[in-house]
Structure 1
Amino acid sequence: MLNRESGQLIFAVVIVLFVFLLGMVIIQLMPSEYTIAKRTAESNQAFYLAQSGLQQAVYFVNNNPDLAFLNLSLVKSGQGNILVYTLTYTYGSTEKKSLNLNSVSLGEYTVNVSYSLLNMSSGGIIINFPVYKIVSTGYIPSISNSRIKRTIEVYGNNTDISLDPFKFAVYAGKSVSFAGKSAVIEGERLPDGSFDTAIYSNGPVDLRNPPLINGTYSPILGKDVIANDNTLTMPVLNDAYLKSISQSQGLYRSGSNIDLKAIVAYAKSNPNWYNSATNTWLTWSLVIYIEGSAKMAGNVEFQGMIVVKGDVKITGTGNKVKGILYAASVDTTVQDLSIYGDPIIEGTSIGEDVSIGGNSTVRHNKQYIENIFSTHGITNVVKATKTKLKILAWQEK
């Protein structure tokens, strides 16, 4: 009997000790759980601060398209915050400012924005795109005494330049029509021997009686020919640069029905541009720029870029062009790029309403186009436009 009572007493003591120890453990764990919850909340707060800094940086980039560098910080001051920033522009100017904000923040943040040129692809051609790197860090409770910090890194671009129209043998801003079946039109030759798209038009392409397009008289719409598609628009040339270059070369003209043969003859007379002994061009830098209309009536051979702000009519025999042939509308007048006779045009031909007939041969040649771009610089040929910042990549560091 005594042994049983002693055993029960010992068991009761063990139970009490277990409950006591369990309570002690729970009491010890409670501060840890509180600490974890607090650190989680502060981590989220630091992340939101980093996001706020990122949004502030995007605002500055969008409203200062020539921004090169930005240092930005939000610091607490009394019952408010002070926003301090330094802007450095691509043209060298620097601007420093600070703003007193009435809002109260739980922490602070810093932002650094840097500008660099990275190789990116546009229209299958590698060019240097300006890219912004934004690094935004949120701190709790402060920058100088932080328990928690979170960092967001973003890469973005605010420049748009489309080289896609140069991917085709023929690009039309309005329509493409044909006269007869004797012409040959070919897109870029691909490694497997097939052709890339030969013709792109924002409007209709008359395929009721087509010439030989990519080696067939039955071109496939959407593959060999793209019609009624407004995804791409006429490339915006850097007119100021191209016109000034043409003027400096003596290849600028204005008026109606300008004869390109006389301009090309002038270019061939320069031994730095043309080797008359071998009948070869020595440069890709030449720009013929016509404000008005022009004609190519026969036996014109040229290498470079021809820009006509009006009608261009190619007729006769012996015409050969290597490079970019560009005919654009002026104001609201409809302009035509008419290719007839037996010309050989290699590179790309861009116009509003394009008409092709005779024994014309129009081939895309990526290398010729790249030769022109690399000689002048792509943004000197095609104008780059500023846009709102587009996010290219995002990560938390």
Structure 2
Amino acid sequence: MSRVQLDHIAKAYGNGPRVIRDVNLDIQDKEFVVLVGPSGCGKSTLLRMIAGLEAITDGTLLIGDRRVNDVPPNERDIAMVFQNYALYPHMTVYENMAFGLKLRNMPKTEIKDRVTAAARLLEIENLLDRKPKDMSGGQRQRVAIGRAIVRNPQVFLFDEPLSNLDAKLRGQMRIELQKLHRDLQATMIYVTHDQIEAMTLGNRIVVLRNGDVQQFDTPITLYNQPVNRFVAGFIGTPPMNFLPGRLSGTGPLQFQSDQGAVTLDLSQSVHAPALASFRGHAVTLGIRAEHMSPVPVPGRSMPELTVQADAVEHTGNEALTYFHLDDQRFVARLPADLPLTFGQSFRLFWELDKCHFFDAETELAIR
């Protein structure tokens, strides 16, 4: 069983503040979990503690049913794939993949069988006699992954393994990693700052901020039901739009933006029951770019606004159109054939029931 449990895990360097604070995670056997967050949030530090490369200040780490806080890295039955590949330049692909097994004094026939099987799985059988300098970045990354596979560990750890690859190759390698997870049926923990990687790879995603877990859930739940403003703004491309405002204290339930550009009647929306207890309070409205449209959708509550285009980015099948409400920059994902130019006014309809509302003080989602 390859379950990984983090129970009140914390990390501090010397007498300084804790960079990881009270993290609790239960990663199930055969699960693919992604740690994601901005630079400096603690995701790589957390991964290195699981690997045994960083000491744990407080808490308990279990791999399987074994407490491994003080177990050295080579005895934890894990394999780690690094961002910089960490291949030996003077060794061939075969020698790089076999090196760890030779250190364990494994029989040569078994080493050959394991390396051959891993090379076949990763489609690098024709590269076994090459050295790293004679391969592309994508090929070297496959070798680094193969070196981890041959060890047949309980848990695979990936520390931003695709960040050195170009955009096209990253897309291809994401598909390969999904296939690899299905084939190996192994527990995998993956660190990235790229939320697209996180959304496409993870069975569940851990969103980190300043050493704290903000939310640990499935990609679709993070997208549709973020627990706070940070998660809402971090997950999704482009990021969610936000507009500060206040709910009416009396009369029909309304949202009015701080500078008065937007007034929304919420009395018949799905949000009304949750928002009722926040009457008179400052709140932040959030709406995603894809939940705005130049035409109303039949059967949906869609208030209309007239806005002015600041910029239009054509991406082929769509146009990301930027505009301002109050002093906040917004972006809408609109059809590519909509003929908009800089400074042009246009109508925009919002899917009211797709909006999100956050307490302005705590930044927690109001549900």
Q: Bin the TM-score by the shorter chain.
A: under 0.3
Please identify which structure carries the higher strand content: 1
Using structure 2 for the length normalisation, give the TM-score. Answer: 0.22
For the pair shown, the structure with the greater C-alpha radius of gyration is 1
